Every structure is written in structure tokens, then in C-alpha cells.
Amino acid sequence: MGLTGSAKCCKILMVVFNVIIFFGGIAALAGGIWAVVDSSSITDLTNGQLNFSKSAGYVLLIGGVAIMLVAFLGCCGAWKEISCMLIVYFIIMVIMFIMLLAAVIVVAAFRGEIENVIRNELADGLQGNYGKTNTTTGSGVTTAWDDFQKSFTCCGVDDYKIYRNTTFVMSQTGPPPPIKYVPESCCVTNDAGTPTNLQGCQSPTPNLPPNPSAPNGSTNANLYMDGCYTKARDTLLGYGWVVLGIAIAVGIVLFGGMCASMCIVCGKRDGD
């Protein structure tokens, strides 16, 4: 005897739900392939120590395949009304729901430690390699940091002072010419993308930063005074509600899948 009433509605919802989830898995798989093949500049920023792009890519690859298999399992189990497949689907949904909840708790509990690790790796990558343009690694780090600083209108990890310990500054001999305390990418630009005052940014008078003789708390209108780590973090946190919304949506999908699969199993048993 076939399903009736609410169980039949659950069957239809399960099929539609899992078809959507299946295409979501394809999207995740495609995103993972792209991330692995075309690594982001964050790898160069840390000299490969924080390979976010490739790590995230592999997670997306595995997750995409897993999502597609689970969606196929749920869709097939619902359409054919196979109880054992639906029970396995239910168990997988429970495990994924617990994993999602655990991930949220871990990120919330260890946020400070995670931020410190990222900040330290960024600082090590910059100090150890920026300005070493005669090496492949140094050239990659230098280019990545220049692009990053221009994009976020910032300088260094926490501020411009980190450049004092880089090859970029320590390899210079002067005067003359005046020492350049920061790279050009740390300088404020006009609408055309040209620094407003390149010398005033890189080699200012002793009373202005980034000159080491500048008084504490002094500022320079030609220099990006903010650190890149804080600016990038604040920008990402601006999308916090989007991330939270996605997490809630995923949680709802998982919970809905659990309920729908059990609804079909119970309805089939009652029908039998």
C-alpha cells in the first residue's frame, strides 16, 4: 500500500529538497576545483604556511561529493520508498547536524586563538620574505602583499612598523638617497591610482611616520595608517550575518531532512 496524507507530502518534499541539495553539491564541487587550481594570494601572504585556498578547496571537493551522494541517497530512498536507505539518510543527517553545531561552537570558543595564529603567520610571511624579489618565494610574497595593501588601503599586518624588519628596508643604503621605510603600496593614492606624495609617504621628515623618529601617536596623511589584518577581519565580519544566515539555512535543511525521512518511514510502516 502506498503512502498517504502527510507521508506522501513528505515524500514529495524529500525529492524536491534533495534535487536542490544535489545541485548545491555540484556547485561546491566546482568551487573546490577552482580553489585548488587557482590558489588565492593568501598562500603567498604567509609563504604557504596558511594555504587557505587549497585547504578550503579540498574541503569543498570532499564535501561536494558527499553532498551529492547523500542527496542521491535521500532522493532515491524517498522516491522508491526504501526504508533502509531513508534510515541511513537520517543517520547521516544527524551526524552532519552535530558536525555543523560542533564547528560553530569550536569557532566561537577558539576565535581568539585562531586570530592569533593567522596574525602571526601573516607577520612571519611578510618579515621573512617581503623585498626578496630575487627569489621566487620572496617575489610571490612581495606581489601578494602589494596587491593586498592596495585593495584594503592598509599597511603591514598591524601597522607600517613591521617593514623596519624586512629585507625591503634593511637592504637599503643611505643617505643618499633617503631610506624608504614602507613600500609604495602603503601610500595613499588619488583617483588615478598614483600616490599623492610618494616621498612624503616613504621617506618623510623625522616628525612624521613611518620615520622611526616620529613621536608616538603621530599620523601621516600620505600613508595608510591602518594595519591590513584588522581591516580585512572587519571586512569579513561585515558578512557575519550572511554566514550566520547560511548556517541557519543549512541547519534547517538538515533538520527538515531528518524529519521528512522519518515521516516517510513511519508512514510506510503504518501503510504496511
Query: Per residue in 8-56, pLDDT tens?
Result: 788 888 888 888 888 888 887 887 787 677 655 555 665 555 555 566 6
Task: List Cβ<8 Å contacts ≥24 apart for 107-116.
Answer: 115/233
**pLDDT at 183 (0 to 100):** 95
As a whole number, mean pLDDT of residues 96-104 equals 83
Longest dimension (CA), the chain: 93
Q: Does the reported pTM lie above 0.75? A: no
Query: Per residue in 106-129, pLDDT tens?
Result: 877 887 887 888 888 889 889 989
Would the pLDDT of 215 be above 70? yes
**pLDDT at 7 (0 to 100):** 73
Q: pLDDT category, 1, cuts 50, 70, 90?
A: very low
Sorted by sequence, the CB contacts under 8 Å of residue 64 that are 6+ apart come out as 25, 26, 27, 28, 29, 30, 31, 32
Task: List Cβ<8 Å contacts ≥24 apart for 2-7.
Answer: 2/81, 2/271, 3/81, 3/264, 3/267, 3/268, 3/271, 4/267, 4/271, 5/267, 6/263, 6/267, 7/263, 7/264, 7/266, 7/267, 7/268, 7/270, 7/271
Query: Per residue in 191-214, pLDDT tens?
Result: 999 999 999 999 998 899 999 889
Query: Per residue in 143-200, pLDDT tens?
Result: 989 999 999 999 999 999 999 989 899 888 665 667 899 999 999 999 999 999 999 9
